[in-house]
Structure 1
Amino acid sequence: MNTVEENKTGLLRLIKNENNPVLSPNPENDWESLVVCNPGVWYEEGTFYMLYRAAGNDKEHQIRFGLATSTDGINFTRTSNKPAFSPSIDGPDMGAVEDPRIVKFGDEFYITYAYRPHPPGQYWNFDHDEILLPDCDKDAPLVLKNNIANSGLLLTKDFKEYRRLGRITQSNLDDRDVIIFPEKINGKFAMLHRPKEWIGEEYGCDKPSIWLRFSDDLMVWEEPSTLLLAGINGTWEEKIGGSTPPLKTKDGWLIIYHGVENGGLGYYRVGAALLDLEDPTIVKSRLTNWIMEPEHDYEIDGFYKGCVFPTGNMIIDDTLYVYYGAADRYVGLATCNIDELLNELKNA
């Protein structure tokens, strides 16, 4: 029996909501008629705010954000027939905006997001990791020539008006899954990130991994990064990346992350780890087994076949809510009792 099969029995799993998908493409709006996925979600004063990735059936695959709200976390209503946030007209993120993650400092929401200078195209029709490239001169910057995904920071107070603060990753690195911790740690901001090119002996990992970096300023991330979690060859998590904003619990920072089998070519599953509260470079525990995997048609029959990709989470009372993109086409919700998950981690 292989490792993947062994991991299927007798362990804690997130429970998929019976109403999944909780958000589907809307054929009435061209800009979200094909794809809705990978949402950032925030809960406050009885309302869930979902900022979701969306795209229509255009060959360039322009990607925007839509906004939906809910009072129960399951039944969401779109707030407008228009996008909440779109690529800029002539800026560095004019190609696509993707995968928002939301945290809050004071009265303002800070949203990390991935972006490209050129639309990626309908990537599911290309070979793995291939995207559209712009027509540019041989001396053009690498970020433009290779249509590299950078990560930026948005600011909003109400999810209605947004201010682009700019790029927070290195322009010549494909550095996505950038997620800010929701509070300072020992007086510093902290960030998870996944630089795709940081692989090899000098980096201590042979596939893209999760790194941790600190800063005194949310826009200036120049301190050295620490390798936090690396993939494990021959398992469900050969290639990994951060998924949702870290959650502070009594036992440590709860990290939900994604792992990909077969060197990054297979199914996306979901794992969990626990970091030290005072020094999050210390991994207190990490589950050997996944807590969620693709099972249903809406998670398998899409534009990435076999993908569950969390990007939003929160703890309400004793329940962990995890919102995820399903097969790059839908939004799903999965939950579990938070104490049961923490106990599983403490016993790992």
Structure 2
Amino acid sequence: MKLKKNSENPILSPNPNNSWENLAVCNPGAWYEDGKFYLLYRAAGDDEDHLIHFGLAVSDDGFTFKRMSDQPVFSPSSDGPDAGCVEDARIVKFDDYYYVTYAYRPFPPGQYWTMAPDQVNVANHGQNAPAVVNKNIANTGLAITKDFKSFKRLGRMTETVLDDRDVILFPEKINGKYALLNRPKEWIGPDYGCKYPAIWLTLSDDMMNWDYSTSVMVIQGEEAWEEKIGGSTPPLYTEDGWLTLYHGVDNKGIYRVGAMLLDLENPAKVLAKTKDFIMEPEFDYENEGLYNGCVFPTGNVIVDNTLYVYYGAADQYCGVATCKVDELVGFIKSNSRERANQEVVNA
């Protein structure tokens, strides 16, 4: 089974009229409410530093989006820890507020597509400067909003020493605790039980202080197309489990998409996980850009049994793909390996 891509993709492309988004628009967080689809998309201009912002686009049908402003709705702070970039929004809602997790750096990453893999601009601030400064380490921040136009930054969610970007909140508390999926790059080797970074589940009482002693590995790469993995979109509730998309990267650097079902009460337990990917780069807008051969979902919503998946293509465009929820759930179950019992999270 493969997700069906919209024939009109890309749904958002760089806008030559706005200097802050004339190079790339990708990796959109998504939300659906009261008949409207919202995309909080990553945007960057052709400046040398590659400063990264968020723009806002809205749609009535989930396919045709209109930009809501000629200015970013959320930008790097002028002098804070996220002064370098804000990127890859994931959105959930508690009560009246939308909670947006986003990746950031203290300094702009530079034109990373001209550098070696996983490299960004760094500057030597002296031998006594902390690693987060000298290595320009990526962390994850949390912001809240009621309208996707004005935001309150709540600060860093993850440990300073960790390069932890794919941080995704569950949309509900699990046994009274907040839960997130994260992918610390440094958690590899014999002590962690994985050769490459894996997806972990971590719990919190207050959404800002996360108890890493509770962290449990959810999955690591198992198939050839997912040598490296990371979380993609916020888990969605279904009667069969938390429907969760993730990305896999093969040894040639190609990004594809898989899906899994996590237990509703113990989401560290994988009920089923696809052996085969459900989406891969196929078209020019996915294979020719700042990162060639990349489909990277960051937003998904369910409307009337249809799953809408919003993704970045080649780090330069936004696309959407769809499927019926029950068909995808059935495929995950039928395309899954036998899985051993996993550790229960003590909530």
Q: Which residue of 1 aligns with 2:319?
A: 332
- In structure 2, which of residues 168, 178, 185 is the aligned counterpart of residue 189 of structure 1? 178
Which is worse superposed, 286-295 or 129-138? 129-138
Distance (Å, rounded) in 2 between the aligned partners of 1:203 and 1:223: 13
Query: Equivalent residue of 1:18, what SS?
Result: coil
Q: Which residue of 2 aligns with 1:35?
A: 24
- The unaligned stretches of length 5 or more in structure 1 are 1-11
- In structure 2, which of residues 278, 281, 284 is the aligned counterpart of residue 297 of structure 1? 284
Distance (Å, rounded) in 2 between the aligned partners of 1:268 and 1:20: 18
Trace 1:11-30 onto structure 2 (pairs within 5 A). 12-30=1-19
Q: Which residue of 2 aligns with 1:126?
A: 115
Mapped contact 1:94–1:117 kept (Cα < 8 A):
yes
Q: Normalized against structure 1, the TM-score is what?
A: 0.95
Give 2:174's aligned amino acid: I
Distance (Å, rounded) in 1 between the aligned partners of 2:69 and 2:242: 35
Q: Does 2:226 correspond to 1:232?
A: no
Trace 1:313-328 onto structure 2 (pairs within 5 A). 313-328=300-315
Q: Which residue of 2 aligns with 1:266?
A: 253
Q: Does 2:126 correspond to 1:154?
A: no
Q: Does 2:193 correspond to 1:204?
A: yes
Mapped contact 1:94–1:116 kept (Cα < 8 A):
yes
Shift of 1:135: 3.6
Q: Does 2:54 correspond to 1:81?
A: no
Give 1:346's aligned amino acid: K
Q: Does 2:171 correspond to 1:178?
A: no
Give 1:152's aligned amino acid: G
Give 1:132's aligned amino acid: N
String of CA shifts for 1:183-223, please: whole Å, max 9, x gaps: 00111110000000100011010001100011111111024
Dislocated runs of 4+, deviation >2 Å? none
Q: Which residue of 2 aligns with 1:3?
A: none
Distance (Å, rounded) in 2 between the aligned partners of 1:316 and 1:75: 16
Distance (Å, rounded) in 2 between the aligned partners of 1:314 and 1:213: 23
Q: Which residue of 2 aligns with 1:98?
A: 87
Query: Equivalent residue of 1:340, what SS?
Result: helix
Q: CA RMSD in A?
A: 0.8
Give 1:270's aligned amino acid: V
Q: Which residue of 1 aligns with 2:342?
A: none
Shift of 1:23: 0.4
Shift of 1:270: 0.0
Distance (Å, rounded) in 2 between the aligned partners of 1:173 and 1:42: 28
Distance (Å, rounded) in 1 between the aligned partners of 2:13 and 2:60: 18
Q: Which residue of 1 aligns with 2:37?
A: 48
Q: Normalized against structure 2, the TM-score is what?
A: 0.95
Distance (Å, rounded) in 2 between the aligned partners of 1:280 and 1:130: 33
Shift of 1:346: 2.1
Give 2:173's aligned amino acid: K
String of CA shifts for 1:47-102, please: whole Å, max 9, x gaps: 11110000000111000000111111111111110000000000000001110000
Q: Which residue of 2 aligns with 1:6?
A: none
Shift of 1:266: 1.5
Give 2:216's aligned amino acid: T
Mapped contact 1:232–1:239 kept (Cα < 8 A):
no
Q: Does 2:96 correspond to 1:107?
A: yes
Distance (Å, rounded) in 2 between the aligned partners of 1:71 and 1:85: 23
Mapped contact 1:215–1:223 kept (Cα < 8 A):
no
Shift of 1:232: 2.3
- In structure 2, which of residues 328, 333, 336 is the aligned counterpart of residue 341 of structure 1? 328
Give 1:319's aligned amino acid: T
Q: Which residue of 2 aligns with 1:136?
A: 125
Query: Equivalent residue of 2:320, what SS?
Result: strand
Query: Equivalent residue of 1:32, what SS?
Result: coil
Shift of 1:129: 1.4
